Structure 1
Amino acid sequence: MFKDLREELDIQTYISFNGQYIVLNGEVLYKNPLNKEELQDLTAFAVEHDHPVVYMDHEDMKSNIEFHDYIESSISTLKIGFTHPHHDPAYFKGREIYQSLLFCTAGEEAPYEEKFKKFDFIRWHEFSTDVLPKGGSKARGIETMIEKLGFDKKDVYAFGDGLNDIEMLEFVGNGVAMGNAEEVVKEVADLVTKDVAEDGILHGLELVGLLK
């Protein structure tokens, strides 16, 4: 995913899917896909409860439903060119899926947490929850990367604004919350920068002394 952006900016090293897919100098360093059987069972359970699911791999993301307001509402907040994913309910079959999105309101993910023990469920939007391999996180992905590079986490900087960024901001030595972040995210950060729409990343880099 983000192929055009990566090529435009010549990004050869990155951590994606909340830490489940890591590329270093153009080569895959680490991948941690969702369990296929568990994902198939989750999909069937979600269909029974009228909860849409989106499947994400390193190439694309697809939805198991043609259109749903919850998907449109949450995806549109990402503001990075995403639109409602195309319909392909069988996309997860025969592919390694690194992250799924379950669309339901707060609290409705509780039965999934009870039933699907191989997954973690982390809410990032009022209508959407990340579905990740158990124990997978942005923090774990960063830890894997810096171990390979020989970096100390005290020298690592991270920016975040969502509930799925909390563990990452706590792990790194320099956690910066965006001005638009939820209060619980700001509370765990070392610093708070401006809103993302107000050049918050630029301001944050200046704030921590990486730019002058």
Structure 2
Amino acid sequence: MKIKAVFFDLDGTLFTSTRGVANSTRKAIRELRQKGIFVGIATGRGPAFAMPLLEDLDMDFAVTYNGQYIFTPKAVIFDNPLEPKTLKKLMTYATQNHSEISLGTAHGVTGSGLLKFGETRLAGLLSGLLPSGTSGVARNSFKHIVRRILPQNSHLAENQDGAIYQAMMVVTQDETPKLQAAFPELVVTRSNPYSVDLIPAGISKLSGIALLGQQFDFELNQVICFGDSENDKDMIAGVGYGVAMGNALPAVKEIAAYTTDTNNQDGIAKALAYYGLIQYSTEKDFLSKDQNFNKVKDFHRLMDGKTQVIPRAFSPQEASFRSGFKVEEIVEFLYASTADHPEKFAELIAQLHKDIDKATQKVSTKAPEQDVLTGQVDAMIDLLYFTYGSLVLAGVDPYEIFNAVHRANMGKIFPDGRPHFDPVTHKVLKPDDWAEKFAPEGRIKKELERQKRVANKKKASNKD
């Protein structure tokens, strides 16, 4: 399934613990945009907080207040304020229970000094995020930033009793059931241990993403969502690819399709590389101009936890194992070529043995290569060249097919979140459900059928 959109929660996900955005995440977002993939925010914070991030990171849209207020840099897409009677009831509840409360409007948050996302705190965050000259605007002129995307309803800025999209209340975990029972018309969720977000029932981050999908032509199963907290669970479970950060709550990890590294350890970039959307490397590593090589490198980084940086030769034992992997694919190639003719397959295998004996005699007469690495690389590149040559002679474009195989190989992670290896050869093993979930043959067949259709249309067009 082609991925068309990626959404990020903010605190604990897009932001590191120092409240910045990792360079690897910034680079990843640029790569996603270059590939035409939509990028957005899905957060419990409000539009005044999200708008500068959209501008700085060049994102497409934001689902804020847990789905109650959705916008692009140019327009408000959807808003769903709390009912006035519900809001009045909330204020009464907070007073009677001595709970501090804040109210989220289109232009900011008012109320509790403990909960309020104050301008000083926000400016401190944005000064580390935004380009030079922008942070002062973010600190001093939030209302002007948001008015660029809002209808000019001056009462929202002047009257705290205007449209309220979300209430935030200091409530312990133990008190949450009581609060939920008192407000069945609301959803009580939380993004931190000490307070809850209260929003109208029926609207969530997931429904907000679905609404954007209707407008921008993508399905939920074509979306990746990143999150770490309770208020991320619905979108993590509801989209095609829900990713839990390494620092996420256990309950979030349990429902995620994949758990990546933490927000402080390039978790976003690593997960996007896992799904084949970007190339990821550390500063000490290198990227090749050969993008297929980089994808295989991502595979080995995921499986082995590291990759080789300095060129080295394989030991005789390693070379034997690697050759065994390749021979298995050659035998599979011959098996596919003989279809349901076991006698013919046996004949080809016998010929393969003869070819090995013949090659052994030929190579043995050559003077041994003095530099082992040079000799090994020469042979490996010849193998690669022969493989491309076979594809050329078959008339097959390998690009999309390679991507399908890469995605399948990246799925060789077991339920314990780790790769498993053959104890002798160190070959990566396949989980029991790998064939059902990741086997690439179906995608390969569809791509080959597509290539045949295109080629036949071109042939027919040339005849005309």
Q: Are the counterparts in 2 of residues 33 and 99 from structure 1 also a CA contact under 8 Å?
A: yes
The equivalent position to 2:241 in structure 1, one of 174, 188, 194, is: 174
Please give the secondary structure, in 1, of the residue aligned with 2:215: helix
Please give the secondary structure, in 1, of the residue aligned with 2:272: helix
**Stretch of structure 1 that moved more, 146-155 or 108-117:** 108-117
The equivalent position to 2:201 in structure 1, one of 134, 158, 162, is: 134
The equivalent position to 2:125 in structure 1, one of 81, 89, 95, is: 81
Opposite residue 102 of structure 2, the aligned amino acid is V
> What is the aligned partner in structure 1 of residue 278 from structure 2?
211
The equivalent position to 1:200 in structure 2, one of 264, 267, 284, is: 267
Deviations 1:145-186 (A, max 9, x none): 111222122211100000111110111101100000011100
Q: Which segments of 5 or more consecutive residues in structure 2 lack a partner in the other structure?
A: 1-47, 117-121, 127-157, 280-464
In 2 relative to 1, CA 144–200 (structure 1 residues): closer, same or farther, beyond 3 Å? same
Indicate yes or no: 2:98 matched with 1:31. Answer: no
> What is the aligned partner in structure 2 of residue 44 from structure 1?
92
Deviations 1:30-68 (A, max 9, x none): 1111112211211121111111111112211112x3x44
Please give the secondary structure, in 2, of the residue aligned with 1:197: coil
> What is the aligned partner in structure 2 of residue 191 from structure 1?
258
Indicate yes or no: 2:64 matched with 1:16. Answer: yes
Q: CA deviation at 1:134?
A: 1.0
In 2 relative to 1, CA 155–134 (structure 1 residues): closer, same or farther, beyond 3 Å? same
Distance 2:232 2:56 in 1: 26
**Stretch of structure 1 that moved more, 22-31 or 129-138:** 22-31
Deviations 1:89-123 (A, max 9, x none): x9641x22211111111121333222222211113
**Identical amino acids, percent of aligned pairs:** 31
Distance 2:70 2:219 in 1: 18
In 2 relative to 1, CA 102–91 (structure 1 residues): closer, same or farther, beyond 3 Å? farther
Distance 1:12 1:27 in 2: 11
The equivalent position to 2:216 in structure 1, one of 126, 130, 149, is: 149
Report the number of matched residues: 194
> What is the aligned partner in structure 1 of residue 179 from structure 2?
112
> What is the aligned partner in structure 2 of residue 87 from structure 1?
none
Distance 1:110 1:119 in 2: 12
Which protein is bigger by CA-based radius of gyration? 2
Distance 2:102 2:261 in 1: 31
User: What is the TM-score when the length of structure 2 is the normalising length?
Assistant: 0.39
Q: Which segments of 5 or more consecutive residues in structure 1 lack a partner in the other structure?
A: 73-77, 83-89
Opposite residue 184 of structure 1, the aligned amino acid is A
Q: Are the counterparts in 2 of residues 12 and 26 from structure 1 also a CA contact under 8 Å?
A: no
Distance 1:52 1:207 in 2: 42
Q: Are the counterparts in 2 of residues 22 and 30 from structure 1 also a CA contact under 8 Å?
A: yes
Which is richer in strand?
1
Q: Are the counterparts in 1 of residues 68 and 80 from structure 2 also a CA contact under 8 Å?
A: yes
